[in-house]
Structure 1
């Protein structure tokens, strides 16, 4: 295959030289620094034989840093909570946030005016053993490993919050644990049970963040995970809310969620863990048999055939118009570095004001549109949920639905009441619309 650039990825010209009118370049060297020998990972990835170890790490960290600065994810005045599961993505997210904090501290100590403070960092680990009894045996060891990992990070120190998932019910007592088990047992669909548990986990993280003064929640979701989510959301009928879940920022929550690794694929992240010696732990949950696992396996197969498939899926979905909450709320720019302000203007997403919504599904927190409204208003919970949750999570008979509602955490119940309030206001406005003055009209 003929080469036409110094970044040839054909794989068929290693060990030779090429000349396209400029100085011949040794393609056995790193395509970025042109000095060091490139690495060969042996897994057939697109970066095989391209980057040396130093440039590979710099490339991955550069994606993280660009996402953070382009979307104002972390500013000097913030207090950031990193969601840490022990897997490779969350481990890299924690490491990169830590390095960002260390650099900010060095700049602060070296500056004369000390005008910009250094953002704080905390770590949260959710104990899911109440939902997965099989985890009970190894959970204590996993928590001990998480503590040692956080303590091993160089100063500044970071608070660790170990949160039982049943704490969403207000406590981590035996009663709360039993309530969680009953709630999950009432969901017959395996995929629906997984989705409900995922939302309860997010509520646990939100509870920790709000109670401890954090104003950002860093989640290590990467391109690979989001690619699977794009397909599962489409299959489940959540196309309307899809654009809300795959942006860099999600501020529909009380504590905004940010995804600084959104542009990194899982393959890159696992390689980085290997290069830097970042240890991870994967808790052995029971095998999943729902839509989520099926789609993840399918996307992994696509990625093996073509290493750019996951990126293509996410880039295509990202063309959807984001919601008004897919950006950090407007704040005082005095604490935002000028470089970040310039990138915010450059990468500013185009938002459609007509897409604003006041109603969210109390189960999955997805924004609702008109097609989600139910003609059956006999049950407030059923009427407040999206069509996907009605089909996969909610019991179909009235008595079971009432019992299911009684087991929900207070936050979900309050969402139902809010939905009722919004619906009643909309209904009242519709009834009296002929008596209302428009903005451009004046009373006679």
Structure 2
């Protein structure tokens, strides 16, 4: 079992799907007798993209191509940007870290050989949200975990500009508490009071996710970052689609599964949206990329206790019968029409159809939001309802 039986971001909670799927991909006898369908030379080691049998090198090429295509086609990262990666220690964010470092290293080489000599390279930092104040676990030492993560991020010859360790209770640091001279103990007390006031397990998980994003956004603004990269994969998004639909968030969830989301002050981008978690785990194995399992509230929750864990268990069960289910759910959700803030060019400035003038970002977004049609909203709701009507039968 890849996660040691404790759950990981591949399993998305306590329901473990990484062991069975990975074992199917690596332990079967077919790869001993077949060659890679890409290079036609090396022996096949994994079944990727549902039907392709690939070697480790071609698997890396395939995933890196998806990653870079998402960045280039959707204009997620530019040389003038300063990028912050939300690092959880798991395989998805580990692969995102490796790929961003490779892209940045190539950009630095190109800048050195540029004829102008002034080519810019995007800034890059990594942030880890320490949730020990919200989830005290005696078996794990937060300081040791943080040092281990810092070693993974900053230990190689390729490294980002900085590594940020963000306490989850830092969401209170900009409040009146700092003015009054309060310290971490008061912030932790306020955080615990907030979490204890939520009795519903699903609500507590969602609240913690919101606090995590607030902490990342706050740190990104403080250090001048202009992009926040999340390592959400197809597998995580498939579970999110099921859980958000079950919670009655069918209209709003298309905004959170796009490559670009500018609802936050620091736009959020998802370059791993087209990559399956199983393939990311295998890539970490083949390339010896070290990753760390860090327990969270979701991984310590019983499978049948929250909507999120139940949705993860449901998707895991579907995967056992048909490994393409995650991609099917993702493609179905992607058919829902995105919002105006899901296009990078429409946020950072776009050209008006009248006289070809350029409209500022703030005015442009406001104008587009003011002219959004009610018919499109209704079509999103109807499409969501028809695509996932089976949830009423499968999920209690």
Q: What is the TM-score of this pair, normalised by structure 1?
A: 0.67
Give the aligned partner of residue 310 of structure 2: 294
Query: For the structure 1 residues 293 and 14, does the alpha-carbon distance in structure 2 shift closer, same or farther, using more than 3 Å as the test?
Result: closer
Q: What is the correspondence of 1:141-290 to structure 2 with a 5 Å cutoff?
A: 141-155=144-158, 157-170=160-173, 173-285=184-296, 286-288=300-302, 289-290=305-306
Number of positions where the alignment pairs a residue of Structure 1 with one of Structure 2: 319
Tell me whether 1:38 sits opposite 2:44 in the alignment: yes
CA contact (8 A) 1:129 1:135 kept: no
CA distance in 2, matches of 1:14, 1:95: 30
Report the Cα distance in structure 2 between the residues aligned to 1:51 and 1:133, rounded to whole angstroms: 42
Per-residue CA distance 1:334-358 (angstroms, 9 max, x = gap): xxxxxxxxxxxxxxxxx9974489x
Q: 8 Å contact 2:168–2:211 — kept in the other structure?
A: yes
2:131 counterpart (125, 128, 131): 128
- The answer as to whether partners of 1:129 and 1:136 remain within 8 angstroms in 2 is no
* 1:29, distance to aligned residue in structure 2 (A): 2.0
For residues 320 and 208 of structure 1, the distance between their equivalents in structure 2, rounded to whole angstroms, comes to: 32
1:165–1:200 CA contact under 8 A, matched in 2 = yes
Q: 1:421 aligns to what? A: none
Question: 1:314 Cα deviation (Å)?
Answer: 0.8
Alpha-carbon distance between aligned partners in 2 of 1:148 and 1:159, rounded to the nearest angstrom: 12
Shift of 1:173: 1.2
Would the aligned equivalents of 2:35 and 2:44 in 1 still touch at CA under 8 Å?
Answer: yes
SS at match of 2:54: coil
Task: Provide the residue aligned with 1:407 in structure 2.
Answer: none
1:61 to 47, 61, 64: 64
SS at match of 1:160: strand
Q: 1:332 to 1:153 in 2, by over 3 A?
A: farther
- Report SS of the residue matched to 1:207: helix
For the 8 Å contact 1:230–1:317, the answer to whether it is kept is yes
Larger Rg: 1
Shift of 1:36: 1.7
In the TM superposition, what is the alpha-carbon distance from 1:242 to its structure 2 partner?
A: 1.4
Query: What is aligned with 2:358?
Result: none
Distance (Å, rounded) in 2 between the aligned partners of 1:70 and 1:325: 16
Cα root mean square deviation, aligned: 2.8
**Closer, same or farther in 2 for the Cα pair 1:213/1:236, shift >3 Å?**
same
Is the alpha carbon distance of 1:353 and 1:96 closer, same or farther for their aligned partners in structure 2, counting shifts above 3 Å? farther
Partners of 1:317 and 1:236 lie apart in 2 by 15
Provide the secondary structure at the position in 1 that maps to 2:342: coil
Q: Which residue is 1:314 aligned to? A: 330
Q: Distance in 1 between matches of 2:196 and 2:96?
A: 33
Give CA deviations for 1:118-151 in whole Å, capped at 9, x if unaligned.
Answer: 1010010001011101167421111001111121
* Rounded Cα–Cα distance in structure 2 between residues aligned with 1:88 and 1:13: 26
Distance 2:338 2:138 in 1: 37
Q: Deviations over 1:243-279 (max 9, x none)?
A: 1011001111000000000000000100011011111
Task: Give distance in 1, aligned partners of 2:118 and 2:82.
Answer: 17
Q: Distance in 2 between matches of 1:212 and 1:153?
A: 23
User: 1:47 Cα shift?
Assistant: 6.0
Q: Does residue 1:303 correspond to 2:319, yes or no? A: yes
Contact 1:191 1:292 in 2 (8 A): yes
Distance 2:242 2:295 in 1: 25
Partner Cα separation in structure 1 for residue 160 and residue 57 of structure 2 = 27
- Measured in 1, the distance between the counterparts of 2:155 and 2:244 equals 38
- Unmatched segments (≥5 aa) in structure 1: 1-11, 16-26, 334-350, 358-366, 372-444
Q: For structure 2, which runs of at least 5 residues remain unmatched after alignment?
A: 1-27, 351-367, 382-396
Counterpart of 1:117? 120
Q: Which moves more between the two structures, 122-131 or 320-329?
A: 320-329
Separation in 2, partners of 1:216, 1:255 = 6
Q: Could you say which structure has the greater relative contact order, defined with CA pairs below 8 angstroms and 6 or more residues apart?
A: 2
> What SS is found at the alignment partner of 1:57?
helix
How much does 1:68 deviate?
0.5
